[in-house]
Structure 1
Amino acid sequence: MTATAPSAPAVDSTAPARDYGPLTTQMFVRYAGASGDFNPMHYDDVQARGAGYPSVFAQGMLSAGLLAGYAVDWLGAENVRRFRVRFREQVWPGDMLTCSGRVTAVEERDGGRLVTVELAAGRQTGAVAVTATADFLLPA
C-alpha cells in the first residue's frame, strides 16, 4: 500500500487486507481523549456492565477511523472525495479487526479517474463491524 500517486486499479481489484489489534480498553481511553467522546461505556467497565453490556466497547468512530486509514494508505488521502460509513456491530476489548477493500467502479473524469471502493472491517468472529463506501479521484 502506498499514499503516493497510485494508478487507478481495475474493477474487482482488492487491496491487501490489514489486521488491527487485539484492541484494548487502553486504546478506547486514548481515543476518548483524542476525540472528546467520554461516554463511560467506552472506558468504565462497571458502568458498561451496569448498563447490560458484557464490558466496555470501542467507539464506532475508532473502528471507522481504522478503516479510513486503511483506505487512504491504499489510494491516498489527497484523493478522497467521499467516505460513507455504516456501523454494524460493536467492537470489544480483545477483538481483531481485519480491514479489506474492493474496487467497485472506475470512471473517467476531468482531471483523473474516479475510483469507487467498498470497504469492511471484520471481527475475528466473522461478523462485520463497519462497512464503508468511498470515492477517490486519482490523477490521470
Structure 2
Amino acid sequence: MSPLYGVQPGDKLKAVTLPPVTRLDLIKYAGASGDYNPIHTIDEEAEKAGLPGVIAHGMWTMGNLAKLFTPFYEEGFIQNYSIRFRGMVFLEDVITLHAEVEGKDQETITFNVRAKNQNEEDVIKGQVVFRKTETRIAT
C-alpha cells in the first residue's frame, strides 16, 4: 500500500528545509535553465535594477518544491503545478517547503504547497496535483 494512500485532507507531508541559497546555486541554475539575467548572479546588476541584491530565479524556488514529493517517486508523479510567486528569495535565505493535503480521489491527491523563508514569509504558494501510478491505485 502506498504511503500516500491513507492521507486525508489536512494531513501534511514532512517539511523540507533547503540549505542557505548560494551564488553557486544560482549560477548553476542559470546554466541549466538558460536564464542568464544578471540580477540572479551579479550584485551590481541587481542593484542597478533597484533590488537590494541578487535574487534567486523564481523557477529555481518552484523547482525545489518537487523535493517534497521525492520520497514518493515510486508511488506516482507530479501531474500539475499551479504556483504564485509571493516574495523574492535572496542569497543566504533558508527556504522551507510545505505541503498539505487539500483533497484526493482514487487517482490523484491535491496538495496546497508553499515555500517560506527564514522569517516565515511566503515566497511561493500554490497547488500540486500528484497522480498515483496505476499499479498503486488498487487496494
TM-score normalised by L of structure 2:
0.87
What is the percent sequence identity of the aligned residues? 28
- 2-side partners of 1:114 and 1:45: how far apart? 43
Cα deviation code 1:110-136 (max 9, x no counterpart): xxx321101111001111011120111
Structure 1: tracts of 5 or more residues without a match: none
Q: Aligned partner of 1:30: which letter?
A: K
Does structure 2 retain, via aligned residues, the 8 Å contact 1:6–1:76?
Answer: no
CA distance in 2, matches of 1:51, 1:11: 42
Q: Is the 8 A contact 2:16 2:67 kept in 1?
A: no
Equivalent pairs counted in the alignment come to: 132
Displacement after TM superposition at 1:74 (Å): 4.5
Task: State how far apart, in whole Å, the 1-side matches of 2:108 and 2:52 are.
Answer: 43
Q: Say which structure is richer in strand.
A: 1
- The residue aligned with 1:133 is 127
Mind listing any 5+ residue stretches in structure 2 that lack a counterpart?
A: none
Per the alignment, residue 76 of structure 1 pairs with: 73
Q: Is the contact made by 1:15 and 1:74 (CA closer than 8 Å) also made in structure 2? A: no
Residues 66-95 of structure 1 show CA distances to partners (whole Å, capped at 9, x for unaligned) of 11222x214437432211111110000010
Q: CA deviation at 1:137?
A: 2.1
- Equivalent of 1:85, from 83, 87, 100? 83
In 2, the alpha carbon distance for the partners of 1:5 and 1:37 equals 37
Contact 2:12 2:100 in 1 (8 A): yes
What pairs with 1:1-140 in structure 2 (closer than 5 Å)? 5-8=2-5, 9-70=7-68, 72-76=69-73, 78-108=76-106, 113-138=107-132, 139-140=136-137
